[in-house]
Amino acid sequence: MSLVEKDQKYIWHPFTQMKTAEPALPIVKGEGTLLIDDMGNSYIDAISSWWVNLHGHSHPYIAEKVYEQMQKLEHVVFAGFTHQPAVDLCEKLSKHMPDNQAKFFFSGDGSSAVEIALKMSVQYWRNKGENKTRFVALDGAYHGETFGAMSAGARSIFSAPFSDLLFESTHIPFPKDEQAAMQSLKTEIAKGDVAAFIFEPLVQGAAGMRMYKPETLNKLLQICKEAGVLCIADEVMTGFGRTGTTFAVNQIEAKPDFICMSKGLSGGTLPLSLTSCTQAIYEAFLGDDIQKAFLHGHSFTGNPVGCAAALASLDLLEKKECQEAIKNITSSHKTFAKKLEALEIINEIRQTGTILALELKADSSGYASSIRQKLYTDFLNQGVLLRPLGNVIYILPPYCIQEKELKKVYKVIQDKLTELSQ
C-alpha cells in the first residue's frame, strides 16, 4: 500500500473530504522554500504552509536549537513550575511589542490564544463586578475554529453547522468604510454590555486578505479606549513581520489590551501560541479567592522545545538579512502588482507588507468559489503551492524566498491570469 493509499485510509484532512477532492500529496522533505514529494518533485511554498513558516523549511539554526533543548528538557508541567526558555522568550518578545504588554499566557495554537483572550475579557469584568459578555468584531472576521473563536468570527461555512451553539457577538462594517465602522462601533459600545472589541489588525486573512489602513484602526481603538472597552488584537496571521513590522499594531499609536500570537511564533516549526495582556488585566485576577483566578490550562502549555524554536526564529527575524528580505519582498510585490493592473480578470489588487492579494472577477466569491480548486491544481502542477481563498489569489512567502523563486511564482500567476483574461 502506497503512502497516499495509507493516508486515505486513516487520515481525515481539513477541507479535503469532498469526493471531488484530489488525494493528499505525500511530502517527504522540506528545504528552504521548497517542499519535495515522494517522487522527487519540488514545490515552492508561496503561502508559508498556511502562513506559519517564516524562514524556510528545516532551517538548520532552528533545528540545532530544538535539538539542544531536547537534550536538556522536553517538557514539564507549567503549573507551579517554570523554565528558562519560556522566560527568555517572553523577555525577547517584549522588546518587539507595545510597551503596555506585561504578561504572557502560553497555549498551543491560534484558536486557543484567541479563546483565552475572550475568556479573560469576560472574567476581567466579572472580577470587577460588572457583567459584560458581548463582543464586537469586524465584518468578515475569522478568529479560529474553537467555539469561542467561531462565536467572535463572522458567520460562514466554517461555523454554519454550529450556529445555534455560538454566543452573541456583533459585527460592525469592515473598516474600508471608516465612517460606517466608527459609527457602528460607537453605537454598540453605547449599549453598555461590550466586553471587548476583537480585530485582525490591518489584514483579514481567511476573509480573502482584506486590508484596511493603520489610521482607521487607530481611530477604532481610540473609541474603545475612551469608553473603557477592552481591545484584542488577533495577530495570529499578521505577526512576525508579515505586514512590514514585527506586529501590525506597531503601526498604530493606540495600544491593545491583548495580543494573540501563534503561526509564525515558532517559525512554523512546532505548535505554540501566546496571549499577552496588560498589567491591569493581570491584576484583576489576583487575590486569595480561587474563583477569581483564571482557571485555564493546556497539557503542553509553555513547552520548552516550542519555546526554543520560537527563540531561534526570533533570532533569525532580528537579523539584518531577514529585515532586508522583508523589504525586498514588499518592493517586489509592488512591482509585480503594477504589471497586473491592466488585466481584465482582476477586480482588485491589495498589498500590505509581504502579503499580496489578487481578487479575481468570478461568478461566485468567497471560500467556496468554483474557480479556487482549478487555480490551486494548475499552480501545483507547475511546481508552486498557492491556495486561493475562493476567488482571491494571495502570495505570503517565507522570508528566505530567492528572487528567481519569487519570479517563478509571479510568472505562474501572470500566465494564468493572462489566459483567463483572453
How many Cα neighbours within 13 Å face the side chain of 37? 17
Average pLDDT over residues 363-392: 87
Using a cut of 0.85, tell me whether the model's pTM lies above it. yes
**pLDDT category of residue 158 using cuts at 50, 70 and 90:** confident
Fold of 63-317: Aspartate Aminotransferase; domain 2 (3.40.640)
Average pLDDT over residues 353-362: 95
Q: Using one digit for the tens of pLDDT, what is the confidence trace for 8-42? A: 666 666 766 555 566 789 999 999 999 999 999 99
**How much of the chain exceeds pLDDT 70, in percent?**
94
- Does the pLDDT value for residue 370 go beyond 80? no
Distance CA 325, CA 336 (A): 16
Average pLDDT over residues 373-379: 93
Q: Name, in order, each residue with C-beta under 8 angstroms of 411's C-beta and a sequence gap of 6 or more.
A: none
Average pLDDT over residues 393-412: 98
Q: Using one digit for the tens of pLDDT, what is the confidence trace for 171-224? A: 999 999 999 999 999 999 999 999 999 999 999 999 999 999 999 999 999 999
Which of 249, 251, 258, 302 has the alpha carbon at shortest distance from 279?
A: 258
CATH architecture of 3-58+323-421: Alpha-Beta Complex (3.90)
Distance CA 60, CA 65 (A): 9
Q: Using one digit for the tens of pLDDT, what is the confidence trace for 220-229? A: 999 999 999 9
Element (H, E) at 36: strand 34-37
CB atoms within 10 A of CB 244: 18
Which of 154, 116, 105, 166 has the alpha carbon at shortest distance from 301?
A: 105
Which three-class secondary structure string do you get for the chain?
CCHHHHHHHHCCCCCCCCCCCCCCCCEEEEEECEEEECCCCEEEECCHHHHCCCCCECCHHHHHHHHHHHCCCCCCCCCCCCCHHHHHHHHHHHCCCCCCCCEEEEECCHHHHHHHHHHHHHHHHHHCCCCCCEEEEECCCCCCCCHHHHHHCCCCCCCHHHHHHCCCEEEECCCCCHHHHHHHHHHHHCCCCEEEEEECCCEECCCCCEECCHHHHHHHHHHHHHHCCEEEEECCCCCCCCCCCCCHHHHCCCCCCEEEECHHHHCCCCCCEEEEECHHHHHCCCCCCHHHCCCCCCCCCCCHHHHHHHHHHHHHHHCHHHHHHHHHHHHHHHHHHHHHCCCCCEEEEEEECCEEEEEECCCCCCCCCCHHHHHHHHHHHCCEECCCECCEEEECCCCCCCHHHHHHHHHHHHHHHHHHHC
pLDDT (0 to 100) of residue 19: 59
pLDDT (0 to 100) of residue 421: 87
CATH 3.90.1150.10 residue ranges of the chain are 3-58+323-421
- Does the pLDDT value for residue 2 go beyond 80? no
pLDDT (0 to 100) of residue 17: 55
pLDDT (0 to 100) of residue 346: 96
Average pLDDT over residues 311-315: 98
CATH 3.40.640.10 residue ranges of the chain are 63-317
**How much of the chain exceeds pLDDT 90, in percent?**
88
Query: What is the residue-averaged pLDDT of the chain?
Result: 94
